[in-house]
Every structure is written in structure tokens, then in C-alpha cells.
Structure 1
Amino acid sequence: MKITTGPVGWWRRMFAFLYELLLLIAVVLLAGGISQGVFQLLTGLPVTALTGHLVASTLHFIWVMSVAFAYCAWCWRGGQTLAMRTWRICLVKSDGSSLGWREVAIRFSVVTLCTLPCAPFWIFARHHADLRIVAWLLTGLFFLPFLWALLDKERRFLHDRLAGTQLLIAPPRV
């Protein structure tokens, strides 16, 4: 695939991110549903009992994160997710080559560390006022990659800078 030399604009990346978030939520919900179904089949307990089992909850979390990683790795190693195709964005290493496992792992780890903790703490903060400051700090962490892109000289997100990747404009499909 031929790629133009220009980097992707901030707004195009934001819209692609929002679209990607919708797709990833669907993938995670499907993986979670499968995990819950297996739990129910193996234990005979209702799905609500999953939270009461530390081992089952841990395995559920590992499974869902593994599926999310597999989805991202499969798409990123190919250069584009469905959202990236829609918004004509291509993900490559800084030298223009395809991503390897190292870049995928770094990118996924940084994105996960910045985004994953935010939602649960806001849920807890609704019921525990003393956790609101933590929720606000984690919200800042959530926005860190986007703010980083505004300050970065090449306008890369934090996860792209750390992984040595970049987003470029892809040519229109014919």
C-alpha cells in the first residue's frame, strides 16, 4: 500500500479513535460474554457470581485483555484497523515498515495504562467521595496521549512516540 508522506491531522486521529473505541467495545463485550458463558457452564452458578470468585474474575480479565490485544495486534501488524481504513490512516514504524511484535506490545501497553483505569474509578467515585481526586487524576492520565500529541513536534501520540510508530495518511481506495 502506498502511503502519502503527510502525517495525520489531530482531528482525523480523534475521530478514528472514537470509532475504534466503539469497535473495541464490541470486541470486548463479545469476549466477556463468551467468558461469562463458559463460567456459567463450568460452575452452574449465575453470571453475577463471577465477581465473587477471585480466580474466575482474574481469568476473565486476562481473557478479555488477551482478546483486545489480539484484535489490536492483528490490525496494527496489518497497518490498519477498520476505523483507520475508514479515516484513511495507516500505522507504520518510524522508518515506514510494518509493525513488529515489540511495537505492538509497547503501543498496546501504553494505551492500556492510560485508558483502562479511568472508567472503574469514576464508577467507584460516584459512591465514595474520597475517590474523586483519584478519578480526576486518572482522567488526566486518560487525556495524556492526546495532550502529548498537541505538544509533540511531530504531533505523535504518546504511545506512538514510545513505540516508534507513526500514523500517516493512506491514499484513497480505488
Structure 2
Amino acid sequence: MARPGFIRCLAAVIYDLFLVVALWFVATALILPFNAGQAFNSRQLFYPVYLLIVSFLFHGWFWTHGGQTLGQKAWKIKVLTFDYKPINWLQALLRFSAAIVSWSVFGLGFLWMLVDKDKQTWHDYLSKTKLFVTE
């Protein structure tokens, strides 16, 4: 199976980012009544943790049910194990957590695919998964 290039992967990430932000709006609307209708403030640790969980559930569900988020589907990218099998929830959690680390160091973990001979990111290596083109 062919491996997707940097631009294709970046496009899928941006597509999914728009979807996740929209999901955050809905998720916020669902819990806002429990905060007396007031905006969340920086002293409330629950809110960012909640949004992180919502983000993981979005990615994890799509990755474990078909191997593609909506952005990945649009750009014909699929995440699978090294032996071309669907990933499980533990791998999804490892991939999601490692992706946060990859992006938090100025995207170096994602940019790594530009110099890696197998076009893998840090989160690919850490979760033992790979991205493939589905065309």
C-alpha cells in the first residue's frame, strides 16, 4: 500500500481540526448549563480535560471503526497497524496522546515524516500504526 505525503496528511489534519472545533462548540453547549450558564474560566481544570476527552473520543471512534476520521476519508488516508489490521482503542489512545506531544514541540513529531525513510511521524512509531492511501 502507498504511503500518503506530507501535504495530504496536513490537509486531513486541518479538515479534522475544523470538525473538532465544531464538536467543541456542541460539547460546550451541552455542559454550559451545569456551569450556571457562565463561561468557563482558567481555574476550572475540568473544561480543558473535558474537551480533550471529547477530541479523543472523536478520533478514537473513527480510527477504531474503519480507520479513518472524516478528514482522512476525504483525503483517502487510512490508519492501520503495521500488519494492515484495524487499530484498537489502546493504540488509538497512544496515537492521540503521542500526536499531542508531536504537535506540542512546534510540530516536530509531524514534520518528522519529511525526513523519515518510511514517512512516519512520532505518533506512528509510538502507537505502532501507519497511514496508508486508500485509492
TM-score, structure 2 as length reference = 0.89
| 3-state SS of 2:120 partner | coil
Counterpart amino acid of 1:167?
L
CA-CA distance at 1:111 after TM superposition:
1.6
Partners of 1:77 and 1:100 within 8 A in 2: yes
- Match for residue 125 of structure 2? 161
Pairs aligned (count) = 134
Calculate percent identity across the aligned residue pairs: 27
Which residue of 103, 108, 133 maps to 1:144?
108
Partners of 2:20 and 2:55 within 8 A in 1: yes
Q: Distance in 1 between matches of 2:53 and 2:122?
A: 22
Counterpart amino acid of 2:116?
D
Which residue of 10, 14, 18 maps to 1:18?
14
- Match for residue 121 of structure 1? none
- Match for residue 75 of structure 1? 62
Where has structure 1 moved over 4 Å in runs of 4 or more?
Answer: none
Q: Distance in 1 between matches of 2:69 and 2:93?
A: 16
Partners of 2:63 and 2:69 within 8 A in 1: yes
Greater gyration radius: 1
Which residue of 42, 59, 63 maps to 2:50?
63
Counterpart amino acid of 1:162?
L
Unaligned runs of 5+ in 1: 41-45, 116-137
| 3-state SS of 1:167 partner | strand
| Change beyond 3 A, Cα 1:8–1:82 | same
CA-CA distance at 1:91 after TM superposition:
0.8
Unaligned runs of 5+ in 2: none
Counterpart amino acid of 2:17?
L
CA-CA distance at 1:69 after TM superposition:
1.0
Q: Distance in 2 between matches of 1:25 and 1:142?
A: 20
Counterpart amino acid of 1:87?
W
CA-CA distance at 1:36 after TM superposition:
2.1
TM-score, structure 1 as length reference = 0.70
Asked whether 1:109 is paired with 2:109, we answer no
Counterpart amino acid of 2:129?
T
Counterpart amino acid of 2:90?
R
- RMSD (Å) for aligned C-alpha atoms: 1.7
Q: Distance in 1 between matches of 2:121 and 2:35?
A: 38
CA-CA distance at 1:18 after TM superposition:
1.0
Counterpart amino acid of 2:99?
V
Partners of 1:35 and 1:60 within 8 A in 2: no
Q: Distance in 2 between matches of 1:95 and 1:86?
A: 23
